[in-house]
Amino acid sequence: MSSPRLRSPKRAVPTSSVLTVYKPPAVDVETQRKMSHDSNGDSGVENDHVTEANGGVTKNIGDVIKENNDVITRDVSPALMPVVVGLTSQRKCVPYWYLYDTRGSELYEEVVTNSKTYTLWRKEYSLLKSHSDDIVSKTTTPVTLMELGSGASSKTRLVIEAMLRRHGTLTFVPVDVSKEHIEEVGQQLEQDYDGLTVEPFGGLYMEGVRHLSTRKGPKMLLFLGSSFSNICIHEQVDMMKEIRAQLSAKDRFVLGLDMDTDRESLLKAYGQQWVTFQRDNPIGRLNKDFDGDMDSAKFELVTDFIEKPADGDCPSYVMGYWRSLAAQRMTFRKLGLNLDFQSGEKFFFTDGPNWSCKWNLHQMRRLAEKSGFALEDYWTNKAEDYGMVCFAPVP
């Protein structure tokens, strides 16, 4: 999950239902699922245009896309197109980042700071408190620090403080989909720390990494909270390769990864305490964004743990989805979309099978080897159920 957020505290109405799948142009790997798994193959995308396979007609993004019926997409922002893809795919889903609007970020913060069973945040904070000086020693001065999924930067303060002790000054670039939130957090950080300059970047993970690559001098990229573990397991290596391509030999990539594989504790940690964040709020957001009538009370949150061999390359993972409690139909009027659910049908809030992966050291090393990195250093908490790795780009 991504780092917690700490806060001081014209519509087209169609007449038909939809079977169309809209496939957007190539986007970041954390938001683009492999369409061969999810689409019916009726549309393709080339050079920012939608091409109808049956007639070779090219339409600009935002036009009504024809198949058996119409999907109204002309009033949908490009940022929400991956959500439309998920709604109209055979495997119904929303991308995980969609959960992190401002209210979702606040709900997430409430769980991770108050839960007695979800202890990942406290594990990582404890580890950073003990090893921040070691972590920041992996770069030279002057250094730019970037964090993906930064949110409130509450744990990151420990790294910022260690950087300032070592270098005196620091430029910090927090990346988050909620730009207004990190701008607010950035202003507070600059007030709290002399020598710190904060340059918030609103966007997706890989947009932030590409932005970082344009900067001169050594850079450290942080990805805390085991957030990388939310990336679809089929896309993790590809994402790592793309990150590697944007970094120089002097840069370092620090990942926080959960190592807890106790099934009982995980099912408690990822259980019903997440209902408001992972079901009620995103369903409310779908209704608001697309003028829908989806009823969250007609879905239950389901969690399972999928254990993989410890000597294999694939980590174990938590799986989560909403399950329809009855046969039902919902309408999203802005899209002209009617969705029918059978009783027991699943609706995923992740791009892939995993909600959160659980790693061991062997799997971390293999992840590095497959993507052009070397595991330079490694730290764990006292219980050795949470780890942080420092990856160095291999020339």
pLDDT band at 65 (very low <50, low <70, confident <90, very high): very low
pLDDT band at 75 (very low <50, low <70, confident <90, very high): confident
Pairing of strands 49-52, 43-46: antiparallel
Residue 252 inside a domain? The answer is yes
What residues does 109 pair with on adjacent strands? none
Checking if the pLDDT of 224 tops 90, the result is yes
Checking if the pLDDT of 1 tops 80, the result is no
Determine the pLDDT at residue 41: 28
Residue 88 inside a domain? The answer is no
- Rounded CA separation 102/276 (Å): 14
> Pick from 228, 366, 230, 233: which is nearest to 310 by CA?
366
Checking if the pLDDT of 211 tops 80, the result is yes
Determine the pLDDT at residue 142: 83
* Contact in structure between 29 and 230 (CB atoms under 8 Å): no
Residue 272 inside a domain? The answer is no
> Average pLDDT in the 210-236 region?
93
> Average pLDDT in the 9-13 region?
29
> Average pLDDT in the 347-368 region?
94
Checking if the pLDDT of 179 tops 90, the result is no
287 token code pair: 């209704």
What are the Cα distances from residue 83, in Å, to 23, 168, 214, 327, 371? 11, 43, 30, 22, 28
Helices 236-245 and 205-213, packing angle to 10 deg:
20
Determine the pLDDT at residue 2: 39
> Average pLDDT in the 384-388 region?
95
> Average pLDDT in the 54-76 region?
50
* Contact in structure between 174 and 180 (CB atoms under 8 Å): no
111 token code pair: 């769980």
- Rounded CA separation 143/220 (Å): 7
Checking if the pLDDT of 56 tops 60, the result is no
- Rounded CA separation 250/140 (Å): 8
- Rounded CA separation 64/269 (Å): 43
> Average pLDDT in the 236-241 region?
96
Helix (H) or strand (E) holding 371: helix 361-371
In this predicted structure, which of 128-132, 137-141, 207-211 has the lowest mean pLDDT? 137-141
DSSP code, position 168: S
Q: What angle do CA 332, 336, 337 make, to 5 degrees?
A: 55
Determine the pLDDT at residue 203: 86
> Average pLDDT in the 100-110 region?
88
* Contact in structure between 252 and 376 (CB atoms under 8 Å): yes
Residue 77 inside a domain? The answer is no
- The domain that contains 168 carries what CATH number? 3.40.50.150
pLDDT in tens, 272-327: 999 999 999 999 999 999 999 999 999 999 999 999 999 999 999 999 999 999 99
In this predicted structure, which of 48-52, 171-175, 350-354 has the lowest mean pLDDT? 48-52
pLDDT band at 149 (very low <50, low <70, confident <90, very high): confident
Checking if the pLDDT of 26 tops 70, the result is no
Residue 221 inside a domain? The answer is yes
Cα torsion 320, 122, 221, 348 to 10°: value is 10
Q: Can you give the residue range of the structural domain that contains 256?
A: 118-261+361-393
Q: Which residue has the higher pLDDT, 54 or 229?
A: 229
Average of per-residue pLDDT values in the chain: 83
Determine the pLDDT at residue 38: 30
pLDDT band at 152 (very low <50, low <70, confident <90, very high): confident
112 token code pair: 């991770």
- Rounded CA separation 96/29 (Å): 12
pLDDT band at 129 (very low <50, low <70, confident <90, very high): very high
* Contact in structure between 345 and 88 (CB atoms under 8 Å): no
Residue 6 inside a domain? The answer is no
Total domain count, the chain: 1
What residues does 328 pair with on adjacent strands? 341
* Contact in structure between 136 and 159 (CB atoms under 8 Å): yes
Residue 232 inside a domain? The answer is yes
* Contact in structure between 20 and 68 (CB atoms under 8 Å): yes
Could you tell me the pTM of the whole model?
0.76
SS (H, E, C) 323-340: EECCCEEEEECCCCEEEE
Checking if the pLDDT of 15 tops 70, the result is no
Pairing of strands 201-202, 170-176: parallel
* Contact in structure between 90 and 340 (CB atoms under 8 Å): no
- Rounded CA separation 307/358 (Å): 9
Residue 284 inside a domain? The answer is no
What residues does 361 pair with on adjacent strands? none
